[in-house]
């Protein structure tokens, strides 16, 4: 396979961070991450863009860095969508075919899916995904893939994900302003599932819980089929806010406390251990006990876990979750969280890392729960299309001499100035000196 083939770029627009990832598949079908860039997210709240300008600036920072690191200039990206506006419904559709002798084709399945995309929904909403669950051919139920079967009546059960049009358009606007097109909007729990769940877990029954900064995403799988999705409108940031309010400290101090000394189990936290926080603007420092901190965290995490449990019960598959819960996202790193989740739900729990589909020795910087969604978006991107518009620029072309023969040949098709502008826009500040020479 040529190194120019099958390069995919993805952007994870989160509440606390924005991540741009560029990757390609190797000969073994494993994902090679060519570059990963992360920047703080300031314009997003609970998964929804609330400040276009700040979000655009963060996206631009990560895109330029990712392009510079990888030498890949991409024009299309796969982008995740979440937020409390996301909801899902179940629906059944059918088509009657002209003959029961001809085989059912992929076109018949496509027609069923298109029919589902035309179902009536509320004003201001749009259908993001139509996910087939099972099919019925001439009243023969439980068919997973009816292509090639004979039958006159084809029915399908579908899981339909719906979101607000305005939220999707705001994401699209932010990405467009950076000069990129969105190839596909992908529900974030679907992407995270792709990155961290095994096929065995999906078959046995598993709950994916992605704890982000602003939202907690849930996906329930059983028998290798997505059965339920939900976005719970709070995540790690509400825990930080509780610590800030409860201890009367700054937000950045609360976040640092949570990460360094926090625990999700108040009962086992050391009573005698305290951490000293500098006072605000020269005031007296504060002493906060590990136990008090842990109880603040535990009470809020229990609320999140109970909301997850409600979604699992709501899915109708609570009794079939043999593989338990897989925790991922930045919030999954909270100390003793798996123990609290297991105690609260009675299910087995493990932390999901995105190394499952990555090639070779995985860098510890990349193999983090917080990058599960980004890695998953790349993997889903390969599902949606075999190749992408991205192209890999050879590294030697980055140091480009505007006076050499190659420049003269290309300039025959246009002005040398326009060629220079194209490279300057793509590769940043490397050509400032050349710009001065040309002027």
Q: Residue 96 is encoded by which pair of tokens?
A: 């009657």
- Shared-domain flag, residues 161 and 218: no
- Shared-domain flag, residues 205 and 323: yes
Q: Residue 103 is encoded by which pair of tokens?
A: 């085989």
Residue 263 belongs to a domain with what CATH number? 3.30.420.40
How many structural domains is the chain composed of?
3
- Closest C-alpha among 225, 221, 219 to residue 188: 219
Give the number of other CB atoms < 10 A from CB of residue 175. Answer: 22
Distance CA 415, CA 111 (A): 49
In this structure, the strands spanning 76-81 and 7-13 are parallel
Per-residue pLDDT of the chain (439 residues; tens, 9 = 90+): 344 457 899 999 999 999 999 999 888 888 999 999 999 998 998 888 999 999 999 999 999 999 999 998 999 999 999 988 999 999 999 999 887 678 899 999 999 999 999 999 999 999 999 999 999 999 899 899 999 999 899 999 999 999 999 999 999 999 999 999 999 999 999 999 999 999 999 999 999 999 999 999 999 999 999 999 999 999 999 999 999 999 999 999 999 999 999 999 999 988 889 999 888 887 888 899 999 999 999 999 999 999 999 999 999 999 999 999 999 999 999 999 999 999 999 999 999 999 888 887 777 888 999 999 999 999 999 988 753 344 444 333 333 333 343 334 333 444 334 434 434 444 444 444 444 444 4
**Which of these three, 352, 381, 413, is where a domain ends?**
352
Distance CA 317, CA 303 (A): 21
- Shared-domain flag, residues 283 and 227: yes
- Shared-domain flag, residues 242 and 300: yes
Q: Which residues of 140-169 are buried (b: 16+ CB within 10 A; e: fewer)?
A: eeebeebeeeebeebbbbbbbbbbbeebbe
- Shared-domain flag, residues 332 and 209: yes
**Interior angle at CA 79, CA 77 and CA 80, nearest 5:** 165
- Shared-domain flag, residues 92 and 157: yes
- Closest C-alpha among 394, 414, 381 to residue 25: 381
Distance CA 360, CA 31 (A): 9
- Shared-domain flag, residues 159 and 202: no
Q: In this structure, is residue 68 part of a structural domain?
A: no
- Shared-domain flag, residues 214 and 161: no
pTM above 0.85, yes or no: no
Residue 91 belongs to a domain with what CATH number? 3.30.1490.110
- Shared-domain flag, residues 215 and 312: yes
Which residues pair with residue 164 across a beta bridge?
125
Domain range for 345: 198-352
Q: In this structure, is residue 149 part of a structural domain?
A: yes
């Amino acid at each position: 396979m040529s190194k120019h083939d099958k390069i995919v770029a993805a952007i994870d627009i989160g509440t606390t961070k924005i991540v741009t990832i560029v990757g390609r598949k190797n000969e073994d079908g494993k994902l090679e991450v060519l570059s990963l860039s992360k920047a703080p997210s300031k314009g997003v709240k609970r998964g929804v863009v609330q400040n276009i300008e700040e979000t655009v600036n963060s996206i631009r920072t990560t895109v330029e860095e990712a392009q510079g690191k990888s030498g890949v200039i991409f024009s299309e990206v796969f982008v995740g969508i979440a937020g409390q506006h996301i909801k899902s419904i179940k629906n059944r559709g059918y088509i009657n075919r002209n003959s029961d002798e001809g085989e059912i084709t992929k076109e018949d399945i496509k027609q069923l899916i298109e029919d589902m995309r035309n179902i009536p929904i509320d004003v201001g909403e749009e259908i993001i995904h139509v996910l087939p669950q099972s099919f019925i051919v001439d009243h023969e139920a439980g068919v997973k893939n009816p292509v090639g079967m004979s039958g006159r009546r084809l029915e399908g059960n579908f899981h339909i994900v719906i979101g607000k049009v305005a939220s999707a358009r705001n994401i699209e606007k932010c990405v467009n302003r950076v000069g990129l097109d969105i190839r596909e909007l992908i529900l974030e729990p679907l992407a995270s599932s792709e990155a961290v769940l095994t096929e065995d877990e999906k078959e046995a029954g598993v709950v994916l819980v992605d704890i982000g900064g602003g939202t907690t995403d849930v996906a329930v799988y059983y028998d290798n089929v997505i059965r339920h999705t939900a976005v719970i409108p709070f995540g790690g940031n509400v825990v930080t806010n509780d610590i800030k309010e409860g201890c009367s400290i700054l937000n950045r101090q609360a976040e640092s406390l949570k990460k360094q000394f926090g625990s999700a189990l108040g009962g086992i936290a050391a009573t005698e251990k305290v951490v000293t926080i500098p006072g605000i603007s020269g005031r007296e420092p504060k002493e906060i006990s590990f136990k008090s901190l842990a109880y603040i965290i535990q009470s809020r995490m229990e609320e999140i876990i109970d909301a997850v449990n409600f979604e699992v019960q709501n899915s109708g598959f609570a009794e079939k979750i043999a593989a338990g819960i897989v925790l991922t996202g930045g919030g999954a790193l909270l100390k003793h969280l798996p123990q609290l989740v297991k105690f609260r739900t009675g299910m087995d729990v493990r932390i999901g890392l995105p190394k499952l589909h990555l090639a070779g020795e995985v860098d510890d910087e990349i193999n983090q729960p917080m990058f599960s969604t980004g890695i998953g978006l790349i993997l889903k991107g390969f599902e949606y299309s075999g190749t992408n518009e991205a192209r890999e620029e050879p590294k030697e072309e980055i140091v480009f001499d505007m006076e050499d023969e190659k420049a003269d040949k290309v300039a025959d098709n246009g002005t040398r100035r326009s060629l220079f502008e194209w490279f300057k826009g793509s590769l940043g500040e490397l050509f400032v000196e050349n710009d001065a020479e040309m002027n």
